[in-house]
Chains A and B, each alone.
Chain A
Amino acid sequence: MIQTKPNDSHKELHDEKSLKGTLFSVGVLAAVIVVMWVTVFWIYMDRV
């Protein structure tokens, strides 16, 4: 019990500073940009 506690708080502290959610979110944003662009590009090429 006593041994795990510092470990826990360390993990918590680490979790509090984590930015993986931000990284994931901007990744989604980049995906939206690419998907929208590629869709319109594909329509453009199809109509050439």
Chain B
Amino acid sequence: MQRLEEIWITVSVGILIVFMIIVGYQTFALGMGPPSHKEVIDPQKVDTTAPFNNPGIKEIGDNEFEVVMTLQAFGFTPNSIELPVGAEVHFTMTSKDVTHGFQIPGTNINAMVMPGHIQKISHTFTKPGEYLVICNEYCGIGHQAMSTTITVK
């Protein structure tokens, strides 16, 4: 192998290792890893299984909220959520039918919501405004209409 090639491989692999250290540190030391909740649920009995039998917004602390949400073709329950500025929100979600996505453009909220699985993701809404919430996984003929808003004021 060329000496120059050895140097190149060492440097470039070094860059990849630095990337891994950064994301690894954030994931395991700062708890910033991707949404990976592992609870399961019967996808055909979502409406009768707690907490999804009562979807909605609950204040669980000082400006801290839990939003229990169900997704189904082609909407979110609850929809048109209103929250105060600075609210720390924990979304707990599942799907009642096919695989959906949960994305809020302009934030890091981006998670798959699948039937049979409970997904969780958190975000602190520091800026006021009307946030767009969309399904970003194809879920059927009305997929493009599957959206709602979160108003923060």
- In-complex A–B contact (CB below 8 Å): yes
Q: Write out, one digit per residue, whether chain A residues 9-48 have a CB within 8 A of any chain B CB (1) or not (0).
A: 0000000000100110010001001100100010010011
Contact of A44 among B8, B19, B106, B108 (CB under 8 A): B108
User: Is B12's beta carbon under 8 Å from chain A?
Assistant: yes
User: Is B17's beta carbon under 8 Å from chain A?
Assistant: no
The CA of A47 and the CA of B11, in the complex, are separated in Å by 30
Question: Could you list 5 examples of A-B contacts with CB < 8 Å?
Answer: A19-B2, A23-B8, A44-B108, A47-B107, A48-B108
For the complex, count residues of A whose C-beta is within 8 A of B: 12
Residues on B lying within 8 angstroms of A by beta carbon are 2, 4, 8, 11-12, 15, 19, 22, 32, 106-108
What are the residues of chain B within 8 A of A19 when measuring CB–CB? 2, 4
What are the residues of chain A within 8 A of B8 when measuring CB–CB? 23, 26
Given A22-B4, A23-B4; A33-B107 close (CB under 8 Å): no
The CA of A26 and the CA of B19, in the complex, are separated in Å by 18
Closest B residue, CB atoms, query A29: B12
The CA of A37 and the CA of B17, in the complex, are separated in Å by 13
Contact of A30 among B4, B12, B22, B106 (CB under 8 A): B12
The CA of A33 and the CA of B16, in the complex, are separated in Å by 9
Closest CB in chain B relative to A8 CB, distance in Å: 25
What are the residues of chain B within 8 A of A30 when measuring CB–CB? 11-12, 15
Closest B residue, CB atoms, query A43: B108
What are the residues of chain A within 8 A of B22 when measuring CB–CB? 41
The CA of A23 and the CA of B5, in the complex, are separated in Å by 9
